[in-house]
């Protein structure tokens, strides 16, 4: 990746495709058929908006990748994906001839009618937006379709230097966005208005600095999102709140979140903030949450299982006497998706390896009162972990 490019290089995508093809050959599979937009982006570098119109990237075990897509995506693929060989198109969905029947014909032309094909969708389409159609598997009765999700997803577990660089750039601007958010936060304001202004201010600053080296690959109103997402006052006890009717008041506990997309990658940074002098109860809950995160962070290193991280956080919460506020596991993998495997969960025995990237976010939630959660993004190093996000964590520093 050149110093002025804030996306994954074509060379790295070539290496990813070579690894995929090697796996296909080892398992006597003729091609990998992908419909999921994230897997297509990871493998080929092509970013698109997945709609009702079927689109697939096909990676044969020897030949270059080709696409099957609606005609409206033809120029888009040609411009954005230098690795694409052919781009085979249909007029639109649902069409006089259904796109899935067209895809079956295209695959037959590519000598894949009787092949072993790995796929992330035997239906042949990503679905969504009310999509309906015949299954590709049914239309290609002589072909054998097998689950191919892990062919790409296992590669995504370990982040490359380029991926980590993009995550660090994302984190840098998430930290800037947090500073702006806290400057803009005042009693009497609705959190949505604070969030929109802060996101705009942070985006303007980022674009002024990065200029044309910045590329947005994910569909969103803004690639910079910072705010509270309804986690205000009693609503902060709802981890995935969407909206609150209440304006910010003195004494409220607020849970922030910031995500900045850089080259398709987004780090995660969240903080618990208190408006005005914290009560004794708020202090106790905040400190218990912080100790649980510290306990988890100390356990990160190659060779241990994901479940051990969660166990350490849970034990800390139990020792604090606040286990009734425990609602979710300690964290998750993060990269092209905001949540991706592996999971810091009692049921995930995945062995942690160097280059994995996680959110670390044990939380405490008390319905009718408040919720407390910090989230940091960390990368696993040879001997432990390193913060990707860097932002103040102590109560005194997070009191407005």
User: Helix/strand/coil (H, E, C) string of the chain?
Assistant: CCCCCCCCCHHHHHHHHHHHHHHHHHCCCCEEEECCHHHHHHHHCCCCCCCCCCCEEEEECCCCCEEEEEHHHHHHHHHHCCCCCCEEEECCCCCCCCHHHHHHHHHHHCCCCCCEEEECCCCCCCCCCCCCCCCHHHHCCCCEEEECHHHHHHHHCCCCHHHHHHHHHHHHHHHHHHHHHHHHCCCCCCHHHHHHHHHHHHHHHHHHHHHHHCCCCCCCCCCEEEECCCCEHHHHHCCCCCCCCCCCCCCCEEECEEEEEECCEECCEECEEECCCCCHHHHHHHHHHHHHHHHHHHHCCCCCEHHHHHHHHHHHHHHHCCHHHCCCCCEEECCCCCCEEEEECCCCCCECCCCCEEEECCEEEECCCEEEECEEEEEECCCCEEECCCCCCCCHHHEC
Is residue 13's pLDDT more than 70?
Answer: yes
Q: Give the count of beta carbons closer than 10 Å to the beta carbon of residue 209.
A: 12
pLDDT exceeds cutoff 50 at 1 = no
Question: Is the predicted pLDDT of residue 2 greater than 90, yes or no?
Answer: no
Model pLDDT for residues 232-260, shown as the tens digit of each residue: 999 999 999 999 999 999 999 999 999 99
Q: Do domains 10-156 and 161-398 have the same CATH topology?
A: no
**Is a pLDDT exceeding 70 seen at residue 4?**
no
Res 220 pLDDT > 70: yes
Which residues are bridge partners to 262 per DSSP? 265
Q: What is the pLDDT of residue 221?
A: 80
Pairing of β 116-119 and β 31-34: parallel
Task: Give tens-digit pLDDT for 189-214.
Answer: 999 999 999 999 999 999 999 999 99
Quick count: other Cβ atoms within 10 Å of Cβ 9? 15
Q: Average pLDDT, whole number, for the chain?
A: 97
Question: What burial class does residue 387 get, using C-beta atoms within 10 Å of its C-beta: 0-12 exposed, 13-18 middle, 19+ buried?
Answer: middle
Q: Which option is the CATH number for 161-398: 3.30.420.40, 3.40.50.10860, 2.60.120.1060, 3.90.230.10?
A: 3.90.230.10
Instruction: Please check whether residue 190 is in contact with residue 234, taking contact to mean a CB–CB distance below 8 angstroms.
Output: no
| pLDDT confidence of residue 219 | 84
* Burial of 62 (C-beta count, 10 Å sphere; 0-12/13-18/19+): exposed
- Of 174, 165, 164, 171, whose CA–CA distance to 380 is shortest? 164
* CA dist., res. 181 & res. 200, Å (int): 10
Can you tell me which residue has the tokens 């070539």?
Answer: 14
The sign of the dihedral angle between the CA atoms of 92, 93, 98, 100 is positive
Distance CA 136, CA 396 (A): 58
pLDDT in tens, 80-121: 999 999 999 999 999 999 999 999 999 999 999 999 999 999
In this predicted structure, which of 57-71, 207-221, 276-290, 321-335 has the lowest mean pLDDT? 207-221
Domain ranges of the chain: 10-156, 161-398
Residue indicated by tokens 């006497």: 321
Residue 5: the pLDDT is 80
Per-residue confidence band for 3, with pLDDT thresholds at 50, 70 and 90: very low
Which residues share a beta bridge with 89?
69
In this structure, of 1-10, 135-144, 160-169, 330-339, the range with the lowest mean pLDDT score is 1-10
225 phi/psi in degrees, rounded to 5: -130, 120
How much is the pTM? 0.96
CATH 3.40.350.10 correct for 10-156: yes
pLDDT 10s digits, 273-301:
999 999 999 999 999 999 999 999 999 99
Q: Give the max Cα distance, the chain.
A: 71
Size (the chain), residues: 400
């Amino acid at each position: 990746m050149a110093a002025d490019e804030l996306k994954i290089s074509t060379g790295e995508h070539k290496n990813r495709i070579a690894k995929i093809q090697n796996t296909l050959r080892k398992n006597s599979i003729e091609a990998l058929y992908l419909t999921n937009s994230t897997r297509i982006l990871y493998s080929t570098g092509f970013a698109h908006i997945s709609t009702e119109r079927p689109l697939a990237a096909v990676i044969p075990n020897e030949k270059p990748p080709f696409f099957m897509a609606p005609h409206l995506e033809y120029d888009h693929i040609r411009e954005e994906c230098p690795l694409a060989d052919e781009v085979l198109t249909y007029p639109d969905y649902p069409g006089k001839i259904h796109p899935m029947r067209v895809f079956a014909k295209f695959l037959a032309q590519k000598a894949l009618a009787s092949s072993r094909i790995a796929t992330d969708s035997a239906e042949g389409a990503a679905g969504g937006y009310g999509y309906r159609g015949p299954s590709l598997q049914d239309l290609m009765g002589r072909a054998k379709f097998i689950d191919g999700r892990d062919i790409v997803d296992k590669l995504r577990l370990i982040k490359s230097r380029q991926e980590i660089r993009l995550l660090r750039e994302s984190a840098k601007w998430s930290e800037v966005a947090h500073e702006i958010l806290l400057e803009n936060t005042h009693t009497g304001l609705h959190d949505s208005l604070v969030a929109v202004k802060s996101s705009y201010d942070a985006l303007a600053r980022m674009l002024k600095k990065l200029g044309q080296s910045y590329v947005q690959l994910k569909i969103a109103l803004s690639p910079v999102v910072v705010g509270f997402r309804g986690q205000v006052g009693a609503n902060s006890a709802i981890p995935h709140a969407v909206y609150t009717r209440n304006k910010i008041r003195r004494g409220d506990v607020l849970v922030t979140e910031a995500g900045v997309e850089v080259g398709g990658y987004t780090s995660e940074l969240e903080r618990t903030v208190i408006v005005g002098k914290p009560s004794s109860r708020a202090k106790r809950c905040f400190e218990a949450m912080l100790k649980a995160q510290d306990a988890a962070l100390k356990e990160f290193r190659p060779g241990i299982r994901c479940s051990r991280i969660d166990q350490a956080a849970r034990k800390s919460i139990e020792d604090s006497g606040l286990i009734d506020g425990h609602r979710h596991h300690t964290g998750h993998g993060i990269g092209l998706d905001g949540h991706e495997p592996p999971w810091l969960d009692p049921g995930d025995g995945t062995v942690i390896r160097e280059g994995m990237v996680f959110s670390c976010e044990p939380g405490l939630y008390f319905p009718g009162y408040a919720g407390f959660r910090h989230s940091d993004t960390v990368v696993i190093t040879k001997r432990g972990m390193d913060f990707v996000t860097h932002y103040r964590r102590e109560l005194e520093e997070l009191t407005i």
